[in-house]
Amino acid sequence: MFEVEAKYLVTNVGEFEKAALRWGGGNPALEYCQCDEYFKHPCRDFDQTDEAIRIRSCNGQIELTYKGPRLDTITKTREELELKIPSTESGQSNSVLRSLLIALGFTPAGFVKKVRRSFEGAAGGFRVTISMDAVEGLPPYAEIEITCESAQRGAATELVLQLAEVFGLTQSERRSYLELLGY
């Protein structure tokens, strides 16, 4: 699966959220906290290969995610592989997964904590997520995201860029939150 995504600095949070609420058919945003810990690979430099591996904790759920290199120069489109980790009786799934990565030679690379408000909808035959992110230490950003198969990447990219125009988002940001935080 591919994640076709574009991120934009939001200069007027209220206007953006009103537009997102209208776009989402008036359905309220889903709000949740995401805590992401990123790791360095023991044998290759993810900064050079433009890859990432992270553990995400969100609402008691744990996911291990691999992000491949960005595939174009306009968006943040990349292959994304996610593995949901079942909760253990003791609730220690995150620490066990973290210990496993460290035992394999991975080392912690940085931590991103954000509150995300997401609006879900459909456009152009795709399920679309438009999110407003409040990342600790950064100004507000919006992300427009579509998950699709490889053959749909072109159409999904075009739609993401069209939606950015609809929302008046002009200040594109290709760097990850981890990069913006200086890790």
Which pLDDT score is estimated for 91? Answer: 66
Q: What is the DSSP letter of 172?
A: B
Which pLDDT score is estimated for 86? Answer: 83
Residue whose C-alpha is closest to residue 121's, from 29, 18, 24: 24
Q: Are 143 and 7 in contact (CB under 8 A)?
A: yes
User: Tokens 């939606």 map to which residue?
Assistant: 163
Which pLDDT score is estimated for 23? Answer: 87
Which pLDDT score is estimated for 89? Answer: 64
Q: What is the mean pLDDT of each run of 10 residues along the chain (183 residues)?
A: 95 91 85 96 96 94 95 93 83 84 97 95 94 96 96 96 94 95 93
CA-CA distance, 145 to 163, in Å (whole number)?
Answer: 10
Which pLDDT score is estimated for 49? Answer: 96
Burial of 81 (0-12, 13-18, 19+ CB in 10 A): exposed
Which pLDDT score is estimated for 134? Answer: 97
Cβ partners under 8 Å of residue 11, min gap 6: 171
Domains within the chain, CATH numbers bracketed: 2-177 (2.40.320.10)
